[in-house]
Structure 1
Amino acid sequence: MTFVTKLTFESGDRAVLDDVVTDLKQLLERKGAECKGPHSSPPERLSVPQYRTLERGREFSSWSYTVYTRRLEIHGADQIARSVAERSFPDSVHVELEIEQKKPLGHRQN
């Protein structure tokens, strides 16, 4: 059975995000891991209201920011995927990791 490690990176700093993902992609290619991506999602623009007091009605202008997302998939290469999961990333980059088990075609469950 093969494992697929899915990594999702999010950040408000697009340059740092792109550097992290590019460096990781190059590392995976040097190690010989099968890697798909990076795949980009459209930037998400978020807005957060800011209140002057605890009472509603008196507001500062909303705080707006953009979140950028990139996704990578590592197929097989469990040891390499484990080392990536243990790696430290900049504080400005949020990383989510999902591991999925793929069964070969024609495989029957008992």
Structure 2
Amino acid sequence: MTFVTKLSFASGDRDVLAETVEELKADLERKGAECKGPHASPADTVRVPQYKRLRAGDEFSPWSYSIYKRSMEIHGSDDIARDVVGRDFADSIHIEVEVDRKKPLGHRRD
């Protein structure tokens, strides 16, 4: 069975996110891991209301910011994927990891 490690990155800082993901891709290629991505998703814009007082009513214009997302997949190379997941990334980057098990073609389910 082959394991596929799916990495999802999100950050409000596009430059730090792009730099981090590109460095990670270069490291994975240098180590010989099969890697797909990074794939960019459209940015999400989040709007946060700002109230002038503690009760509803008077409001300032909403504060808005963008969240940028990238995703990657590492196929096989379990030891390399484990090293990647254990890395320290910038505090401004949120990372989600999902591991799937892929069975070879023709494999019967018992």
Which residues in structure 2 correspond to 1:94-105 (within 5 Å)? 94-105=94-105
**Counterpart residue number, 2:30:** 30
Divergent runs of 4+, >6 A = none
State the shift of 1:53 in Å: 2.3
1:5 corresponds to: 5
Q: What's the offset of the Cα at 1:60? A: 1.7
For 2:47 and 2:77, the matched residues in 1 are separated by 40
Report what 1:64 is aligned to. Answer: 64
Displacement of 1:84: 0.4
1:82 and 2:85 aligned: no
Runs of 5+ consecutive residues of structure 2 not aligned to the other structure:
none
Unaligned runs of 5+ in 1: none
User: For residues 95 and 61 of structure 1, what CA distance do their matches in structure 2 show?
Assistant: 30
Tell me the alpha carbon deviations over residues 8-44 of structure 1, each in whole angstroms, 9 at most, x when there is no partner: 0000100000000000000000000000000000111
- How far residue 54 of structure 1 moved from its aligned partner, in angstroms, is 2.4
Superimposed CA distance per residue, residues 71-104 of structure 1 (whole angstroms, 9 cap, x where no aligned partner): 0000000000000000010001111100000001
Please report the TM-score for the alignment, with normalisation by the length of structure 1. 0.97
For these two proteins, the number of residue pairs brought into alignment is 110
Pairwise CA RMSD: 0.7
**Structure 2 CA distance for aligned equivalents of residues 29 and 7 of structure 1:** 16
